[in-house]
């Protein structure tokens, strides 16, 4: 009689590496197929006294959803479990490198040595093997089954990127989403052109008690003169704006984003010297003054209509005032967008005199959007520099026409900088203290 013992759970060893003559086997608990295969294999080699020892040590599967891959793997192994299959998948909301889902789910009871499978986010990037699938192996690249650009576009969200691993982009591709498409020959943007230097921060915050939180991507910086100037040139070409007496107005052009026809979007420099955007010869450009380019300063002299039209053009949106505050107060402990205290080393505001960190000789005394340090979730200028338009109505009734602004500004004292401070203005109003940031 030849005897063999099968341990129905083990310390991370699988049968796959066992030689056929081994009289003792370790297999993951609950793997019925592997158990039956093992019994059959041992019987084949003359083992007729086969004992299955199903006495196992159990553990609780940890919650690793939302964790970075390395942290998730450490948590799994620390629980006495084994990292199983790891696959990649697109996610518009889960940051690249973080776990989208796990199996078994968190809180389940599992045997020591059993497997936990993970799906890891590639972020808002969709990998495509080939343009039409002929270059594809049939299952899609990087774990994504979107074999053609057209399939990828169907499920893409504004702000996403599609990377074609083989071939070039199709010339006949048309769409109205703000999606970046990268092909082997370089970078091409289809439809609404995404600003080149938009920096996004993914945030998941429950918000102020009684109001909505924020989950999604918000721009790290206030929208710059350069970004808004690029929008104006694109919108002028598509017929979505027109210029009269050096003031930019909305028009019904070919872009699919909603327009505000005949509403003021922006005053150019010739209309108001606080503006940092010039218009000449049918082209918008960013001013320089006192030896500094204003390209990386926040756009000013922009109305709520102009800020919202920018968002509509690219598929973004303005945050509501409570979404804005959820991000600005970080984990609820911040009084200001720069922490529990504020001073001129942290923010651009009026403190007896103007901060004016660049020593500019005339208004507006704005600062570059990356001049001050990042705070909280990694955000800049959530206190000071310029007030930021939100998508909220001040009186709760948009027919009364006022829109909420948050953040404080270079021309107001520290009283305007707390995260809870609300300022309001009409949606058509422009000024040297008003700008915006976007989210998606």
Q: What is the pLDDT of residues 61-91, one digit of tens each?
A: 999 999 989 899 999 999 999 999 998 877 7
Mean confidence (pLDDT) of the chain: 81
Question: Reduced to 3 states, what is the DSSP secondary structure of residue 333?
Answer: coil
DSSP 8-state class, residue 12: S
**Burial (CB count within 10 angstroms: exposed 0-12, middle 13-18, buried 19+), residue 53:** exposed
Supply the DSSP string of 353-390, one letter for each residue. EE--TT--SSS-----TTSSPPBTTTBS-SSSSSEEEE
Q: Which residues are CB-contacts of 177 (< 8 A; sequence separation ≥ 6)?
A: 153, 156, 157, 158, 191, 192, 315
> What local confidence, expressed as pLDDT, does residue 395 receive?
87
Write down all domains in the chain, each with its CATH number in brackets. 2-56 (no CATH), 59-121 (3.30.10.20), 125-190 (no CATH), 203-435 (3.90.1580.10)
Please determine, for residue 253, whether its predicted confidence score (pLDDT) is greater than 60: yes
> What local confidence, expressed as pLDDT, does residue 142 receive?
40
Burial letters 80-103, b for 16+ CB under 10 A, else e:
bbbbeeeebbbbbebbbbbbbbbe
- What's the CA gap between 256 and 258, in Å, rounded? 6
Q: Which residue has the higher pLDDT, 146 or 383?
A: 383
Please determine, for residue 133, whether its predicted confidence score (pLDDT) is greater than 50: no
Q: Which residue has the higher pLDDT, 123 or 334?
A: 334
Please determine, for residue 186, whether its predicted confidence score (pLDDT) is greater than 60: no
> What local confidence, expressed as pLDDT, does residue 143 receive?
38
Q: Which two tokens stand for residue 58?
A: 């159990």
158 — pLDDT class (breaks 50, 70, 90): low
Strand partners, 249: 242, 264
Please determine, for residue 49, whether its predicted confidence score (pLDDT) is greater than 90: no
Q: pTM of the predicted model, to two decimals? A: 0.60
Q: Which residue has the higher pLDDT, 235 or 163?
A: 235
Region 412-426: mean pLDDT is 96
Residue (of 425, 371, 404, 351) closest to 222 by Cα position: 371
Q: Which residues are CB-contacts of 218 (< 8 A; sequence separation ≥ 6)?
A: 200, 201, 203, 319, 323, 327, 379, 437, 438, 439
Q: 68-72, 136-140, 202-206, 253-257: which has the minimum mean pLDDT?
A: 136-140
Q: Which residue has the higher pLDDT, 387 or 395?
A: 387
DSSP 8-state class, residue 399: G
**Residue 106 near residue 142, CB atoms below 8 Å:** no
Question: Reduced to 3 states, what is the DSSP secondary structure of residue 142?
Answer: helix
**Residue 287 near residue 432, CB atoms below 8 Å:** no
> What local confidence, expressed as pLDDT, does residue 45 receive?
57
Angle at the Cα of 222 from the Cα atoms of 218 and 226, rounded to 5 degrees = 120
**Residue 71 near residue 101, CB atoms below 8 Å:** no
**Residue 278 near residue 270, CB atoms below 8 Å:** yes
Q: 37-51, 64-78, 266-280: which has the minimum mean pLDDT?
A: 37-51
- What's the CA gap between 245 and 430, in Å, rounded? 15
> What local confidence, expressed as pLDDT, does residue 107 receive?
94
Region 2-6: mean pLDDT is 48
> What local confidence, expressed as pLDDT, does residue 359 receive?
96
Q: Rounded to 5 degrees, what are φ and ψ at 184?
A: -60, -25
150 — pLDDT class (breaks 50, 70, 90): low
Residue (of 386, 392, 425) closest to 208 by Cα position: 392
């Amino acid at each position: 009689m030849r005897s063999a013992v099968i341990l129905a759970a083990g310390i991370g060893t699988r049968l796959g590496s066992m030689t056929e003559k081994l009289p003792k086997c370790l297999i993951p608990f609950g793997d019925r197929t592997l158990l039956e295969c093992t019994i059959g294999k041992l019987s084949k080699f003359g083992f007729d006294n086969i004992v299955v020892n199903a006495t196992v040590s159990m553990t609780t599967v940890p919650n690793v959803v939302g964790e970075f891959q390395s942290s998730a793997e450490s948590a799994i192994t620390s629980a006495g479990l084994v990292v199983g299959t790891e696959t990649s998948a697109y996610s518009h909301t889960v940051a690249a490198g973080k776990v989208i889902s796990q199996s078994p789910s968190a809180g389940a009871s599992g045997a020591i040595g059993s497997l936990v499978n993970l799906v890891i986010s590639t972020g808002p990037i969709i990998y495509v093997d080939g343009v039409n699938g002929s270059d594809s192996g049939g299952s899609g690249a990087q774990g994504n089954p979107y074999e053609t650009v057209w399939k990828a576009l169907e499920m893409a969200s504004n702000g996403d990127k599609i990377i074609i691993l083989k071939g070039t982009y199709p010339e006949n591709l048309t769409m109205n989403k703000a999606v970046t498409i990268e092909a082997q020959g370089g970078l091409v943007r289809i439809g609404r052109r995404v600003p080149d230097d938009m920096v996004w921060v993914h945030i998941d915050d429950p918000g102020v008690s009684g109001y909505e939180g924020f989950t999604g991507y918000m721009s790290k910086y206030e929208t710059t003169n350069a970004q808004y100037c690029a929008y104006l040139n694109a919108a002028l070409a598509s017929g979505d704006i027109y210029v009269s007496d050096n003031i930019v107005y909305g028009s019904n052009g070919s872009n699919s984003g909603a327009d505000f026809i005949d509403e003021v979007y922006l005053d150019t420099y010739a209309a108001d010297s606080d503006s940092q955007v010039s218009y000449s010869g049918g082209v918008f450009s960013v001013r320089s003054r006192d030896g500094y380019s204003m390209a990386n300063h926040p756009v000013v002299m922009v109305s709520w209509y102009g800020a919202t039209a920018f968002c509509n053009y690219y598929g973004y949106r303005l945050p509501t005032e409570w979404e804005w505050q959820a991000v600005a107060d970080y984990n609820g402990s911040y009084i200001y967008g720069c922490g529990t205290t504020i001073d001129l080393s942290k923010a651009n505001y009026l403190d007896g005199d103007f901060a004016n960190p660049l020593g500019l000789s005339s208004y507006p005394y704005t600062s570059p959007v990356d001049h001050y340090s990042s705070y909280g979730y990694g955000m800049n200028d959530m206190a000071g520099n310029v007030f930021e338009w939100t998508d909220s109505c001040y009186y709760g009734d948009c027919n009364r026409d006022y829109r909420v602004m948050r953040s404080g500004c270079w021309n107001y004292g520290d009283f305007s900088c707390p995260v809870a401070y609300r300022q309001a203005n009409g949606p058509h109003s422009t000024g040297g203290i008003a700008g915006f940031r976007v989210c998606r």
